[in-house]
Structure 1
Amino acid sequence: MKAGYVLSGRYKIKKSLGEGGMANVYLAFDLILKREVAVKLMRLDLRDNPAAIRRFKREAISLTELAHPNIVSIYDLGEDNGMQYLIMEYVEGMDLKEYIAQNFPFAYSRVIGIMEQILSAVSEAHAHDIIHRDLKPQNILINEQGQVKITDFGIALATSEYSLTQTNTLMGSVHYLSPEQARGSLVTKQSDIYSLGIILFEMLTGRVPYQGETAVSIALKHFQNEMPSVRAFDHSIPQPLENVVLRATAKNLRERYQTVAEMAADLRTTLSATRATEPKWHPFETLDDETKVLEPLKIATKVQKKKPTVPEKKPETKTKKWSTKKKWLFWGGICFILLLVIFAALSFALSPHNVSIPDLRGMTKAEAKGVLSDRNLKVGKVSYQNNDKYYQGQVISSTPEEATNVRENSQVSLVLSKGPEKFKFGDYTGQSYATVKKKLEAKGVTVLKQNEYSNTVAKGEILDQTLSKNKKVVWDQTTVTFTVSSGAGQSYLRDLTGYTEKSVRDYANELGLVLKVKKESSSDSTAGLVIAQDPAVGSPVQSGDVLQVTLAANTTSSSSSSSASSSSQEKTFAVNVTLPYANNANSTSTGAQQSTTNKIEIYLQDKNHSFSSVYQTLTIARDTEISLPFTLDGSATGKYKVVRDGQVVAEKDNIKDSGN
């Protein structure tokens, strides 16, 4: 796989880390969680092998149960274009094979320290009934802090179908192969213990015990040859330490350590002074299946004197001849018995037999049908249900259950997985990011955040989300990115001189500023335009700050104007209004938006404004006083209304002048 390829749209391949018998390993970057990971990608020649794929998935799922500081963590399991992959913790360092090559020889205490970490990890796996099957230095990683991390637990199971003649895939593993594995016998937890003994041998001597030109020749030595002595290589190695190697690699399972914990307890005291005079350990008995040579029978050496033999006279006996009737009876009886035997055999062969229901979990319907057909069983009713453990289309359970004995030609009902249950994601815009993040992460969602300034939405509230509210998702397989308000970004006031009142009001609304307007008489051409502002040009402001501008008022020199009827005179004045703040953060009503700010909408009616449209919108976090400008002709009246978070909190009609 080339560098730069993005696996499942998330894991970007950086480089190859190595190749194995079942999978290739790559270094990749998780584009969502922003971290380096190791990708184990099943080899292409195994991609079309249903058994290998099934075991790969099953073992990977079981490995997620292992949480141990000396076991590489499994993050994800998936498929991309038919390629099965595992996402694992990336361990920066080297494998034990390379570590031995660079550091050998090293102190016995360091050897024991490394082995104790390895034994602790294997013991944890055995406690979950997981057998590694392929323990070797290449599968043991050591990070830069000296911590051991074991990888590939159980994955080697799928390669067990391959012959030992495939030296390109198994040559590295055969050096650590137990005798029972080499013979094709049942693999047990003690098989892992044998491999651990070989690893300890290599750390003490810098080499493996058996060499050969082919994998087969090496495998034969594992169950035919005596284990070489590590003390023959280095006499300074303590005898108790050699004894651990010998017991761990005993050919006879009864003499090998029964558990990893037993081996760890023995290893822990090997450097103790109390064991300094310990004799070399020897097996008590040979393997049961070893070839035994029988001694030839001894021939008597003494020659006895021959005695003359006197011929014995045998009494003459008369041979009785069977009559024809007896012969017919005899042969007839024989034929009858043969017919009975043949009939019984045919009846047994043709009648249905009892067969055991196999374990079908994790198989596809087609795979299960094939396995059942091999046992003369048929697929019965097929039903579907959601399941978090098995992928869509895999068998969850069967009826009758596994290991149940049934008659041949019986039907077996299957329950297939529909995959994990999916739920509508929902709409979280306008809600507190901290609250939503906590709620979604409790369901297993990966929640990401990006910030954006907003003059209309309070800081910490969600502006947008990458997933549609109606999208159906599996919670623990979902990643969402929320755009969250950082509040109003700091702005700098522009020069408003010459702006009309409407232009100033639009500008104030854009920045979320509270606008106050006052008017001064002017006899020049600036009437109706801004002639002054506070704060000054270039001053920094944020949403909620007050902006005050001064507009030039219309004036005339005509005395007739000043004495005009009050009924036609235009009046401009301001009304001070307090906007009341309400803290909604402790709201417990269902679906209530939790916020620490209020959204305010103001409606105003006078000569210049219509009551049907919003005059000003702003956000407040405390009681705020503003000034509302009114322009009225003669006896006309104005009115205003304040709406807070959708509810009217203040309103006044019949406004006539600034004092009312």
Structure 2
Amino acid sequence: MMEPGYAVSGRYQIIRPIGEGGMANVYLAQDLILDRQVAVKVLRLDLRNDPNTVRRFKREALSTTELNHPNIVSIYDVGEENSMQYIVMEYVQGADLKKYIVEHFPIPYQRVIDIMAQILSAVQNAHDHNIIHRDLKPQNILVDEAGNVKISDFGIAIALSETAMTQTNTLLGSVHYLSPEQARGSMATKRSDIYSLGIILYELLTGMVPFEGESAVSIAIKHFQNEVPPVRNYDPRIPQALENVVLKATAKDPDERYSGVKIMAADLATSLSASRAHEPKFVPNKASDLGETKVIPALDPEGLTQTDQAEQVTEATAAKPAESNAKKAKKSKMSKKKKWWLIGIGVALLVLLGTVGAYAIQGSEVSVPDLTDMTQQNAEDVLTDKNLKVGTIQKTASNQYDSGHVIRSTPVKGLRVKSGSTVDLTVSTGQKKYRIKDYTDQVYSDVSRQLRQKGLTVKRKYQSSTTVDAGTILNQSIDAGKNVVPSKTTITLTVSSGKPTFAVRDLSDYTQQAVQDYAAEAGLMVTFSEEYSTSIQTGLVIRQSPASGTMVQAGDRLNVVLSKGPRAPAVQPSESVSETPSSSSSESESSSESSSSESEPSETSSQPSGTESSSASQATVKK
């Protein structure tokens, strides 16, 4: 165990342990050079002296660095310090798939397919590089906070396959996903990974593994003796096409499974299609011999069957009528061996009969009772009364069942099982809670839709802001990080309405200077124009746009028309005769006199008549 603060190779400073496995311990560390968090996996102390384990640890870790895939945990560095083998890899912040299933079950079918599609894509990439994982299980699959899936532990898979069978406690974590051929000690192939993928899909759909037992050996035996229970026994709503993917991937005979991960992925992708709604149930074509008991002809001490022995005796009799003394002695010795051989067979038959007898005693069948919505204690009492045993108890959140009440049982209610069989229970921990996040500076429409999908009630109130765009969340009524029950929670989000609005003032009788002062105070842009007006005094406002009372924001434009006063009357042009200067002068004088005589008749009458005649005569002569 490495202490926090220790720097592996002077570069990776340990922060804290984050996991322990059968082969290695994992620590969260800080890369002091690249300033990022990484995961450091260190080979366990008790395995560091095994040269084969160390060699394979290095070889497989280095080969995994060739895998560059978004759904595979990246390997950054491989090294050794003080005989300590370590691998530095990408740190995925989230939970493993095992924990994800517990927290999110039941998982929608489409989400199950999405998760499996990412897993299958990663395994396909590894198989393309001729790397077999050998230890695929939910504990080796990580789900980050965004829901993306990444597979880890490619680096030590081969070493684990050679050591886990001798470590019961270690194997117990992996044996639930172990292929039948691996359980029998045979070499793992790419189809062994496909079997494990089928078990993972089974768990995503049912929330549990298909086989349980008190020891790793008992579980391993079930893998090559018992058929994987149909997932539709657990949930009849699961489409047959989707169940067929599980059945084909987990076939006992490797030849009956998918020939490649890519084919399995393609089959899974269409499993919810309406065109496959009436697909028949998959049934293997070949009978697997992985768990069958066969009758083998009796062997003599030399390994020959009775038929072969008879043929050899016939040939020997024809060739030599009499046996030599040496052959008689050998035959006597062989007879003694045959006696012990028969005793061994007898003991084996007794053991077999005892086992059959034990099954016969427990052969009576009972129907699994309906335990739904019972308290856990009541369900256990009912199972005891029915001569059934309580199996594993799994806890999960439920919006339908109260805390401590049974959500479901496996096998399902009504299914007939042998007396003394175990029944697994899934018990509610209460309504599923949702962790509130920090929604400030996010778009209200997006956040409200997400929260309503989770079951929360969302209310909105507006608040103006000069700095935050309209529609953006300014504040929230529930603090980030708080866990709430969605169906019982109302959250109020304060949303920016943009810049504050106000009603435009009535500017009638305002001068241009008064309008400019108001616009500066309100933050408005103003444009002036002028028109003649007989009713509005010159320089005052005739009209405005927007009209008074209209709601506007700072920065909007205000158009104002000012009065130019009344329009001036048109000037009439005077008549004139343009002749010689003297003529003009005479006519002007004559005109003046004429006007004077018209406007002042009293004065004209008092003047001598001779003067008028003389003047008139002179004018006539000039003309």
TM-score scaled by length of structure 1: 0.44
Q: Per residue, is there more strand in 1 or in 2?
A: 1
What's the TM-score, normalizing by structure 2?
A: 0.47
Larger radius of gyration: 2
